[in-house]
Structure 1
């Protein structure tokens, strides 16, 4: 596909914002970034077009997206939007869980469905779903304990969604990948108190994670469709060596 249009769903902060800036700096590349707001507060940029009012937790998200894209074909669609609501076993939260599942695992189905049915994704296109190693059942270990049901389980659900989409779209030549971009120093992780683990956990800035992810996406193709990868390798995955062994490669394919 000759188009170099990049769609980033969730481009206003964290990893999405870093990916937006990185792709926008590349020659002959145009970024379509989404925001939940009715308008974009950023200064006009000839390399970035904002799609407004795009909320992954709402049932009209796919329709709103394609209405604003019009006939623009997309070479790579990256769904980076996320929400993390802190929970424990003693204080599970129904509304937080519903929002996490909807944002992580329901919304992407409708976004990809509408993009494909509108002819905006086709042979040679890539769909990258930003997941997390927290969604790997195999990597969960007793030393990390339980809790955060909605966060972990919604990412596990997203992994299944990505696998199923890869099966639906393979014959059309559309590659679907799941990625753990890395443990990041973001307002989201700080907001749930995970900043206390940043140093020990090898957390990186969103810019660092975006650089690794962009490189991985460029090499990603149909031969890896439906797979789950950590572009930065095992460094920030605390249970990787205990579960998968030592001398693990980078990038690292992760287990479900």
Structure 2
């Protein structure tokens, strides 16, 4: 069975991913910034003290895994959303969003690869968002949330560049919009008022779709940007890409 690492596994999507991978019998590692969450399966191997926004995270993680075996699947699911408007941008929030979404993943993947934990056939999935697509931004939604959108666009570029560096080694790198989710993160920025109209799903539903997508993902799709659940929760899909009934699931997203 595959060996899976989920970075950012203590809540929301990340927590559901480690639970579902463990339930199907895979060897599962999950990272936590501090302590592991309560009431999780005993089969999950927790690695504490890993904050993707810190420079030391990649090296600490690689040392904790000790290089004894290959990671078949690595999912970078750690996230942070700091709400902003044009009238009130926030410098510190933006820095943390960039470090979490775009800076940290470079160092995590670098150290895992240099430690021999990624090899031919390994898959690296960076959880991005449709919000990082410049093409999908439309006047109907207005501006604001600069750090959120721009850090996800930067995350997409990081994933694309990593895919170019790792392709010759047989390591596939993908970017995904997992779903619009009903989580404390989206509620915390006031997006719960859009849950129903926007087709938001619970993290367990999103995790199931993502796992199914990762199972089919391989080197032929490396460097690509996908929405495993299709266009249904992408608000601007019809404005930009055309009628939803003519769009595929999974849906390859435009940059």
Indicate the TM-score class for this superposition, using the shorter chain for normalisation: over 0.9
Secondary structure at 2:75 match in 1: strand
Distance 1:99 1:108 in 2: 13
Residue 44 of structure 1 and its aligned partner are, at CA, apart by: 7.1
> Where has structure 1 moved over 6 Å in runs of 4 or more?
none
Any stretches of 5+ residues in structure 1 without a counterpart? none
Specify which of 27, 35, 42 is matched with residue 38 of structure 2.
Answer: 42
Specify which of 12, 19, 26 is matched with residue 10 of structure 2.
Answer: 12
Alignment of structure 1 residues 20-169 onto 2, 5 Å: 20-27=18-25, 29-37=26-34, 39-43=35-39, 45-71=41-67, 72-169=69-166
Spell out, residue by residue over 1:59-116, the C-alpha distance to the aligned partner (whole angstroms, 9 max, x if none): 1010110111112321000000000000000000000000000000000000000000
Specify which of 211, 224, 228 is matched with residue 225 of structure 2.
Answer: 228
Any stretches of 5+ residues in structure 2 without a counterpart? none
Secondary structure at 1:78 match in 2: strand
Verify the 8 A CA contact 2:5 2:73 in the aligned structure 1: yes
Give the TM-score of the pair, scaled to structure 2.
0.97
Distance 1:200 1:102 in 2: 31
Give the TM-score of the pair, scaled to structure 1.
0.96
Residue 42 of structure 1 and its aligned partner are, at CA, apart by: 3.0
Verify the 8 A CA contact 2:10 2:37 in the aligned structure 1: no
Distance 1:252 1:86 in 2: 27
Secondary structure at 1:129 match in 2: strand
Distance 1:241 1:73 in 2: 41
Matched residue, 2:180: 183
Spell out, residue by residue over 1:149-188, the C-alpha distance to the aligned partner (whole angstroms, 9 max, x if none): 0000000000000000000000000000000001000000
RMSD over aligned Cα atoms: 1.0
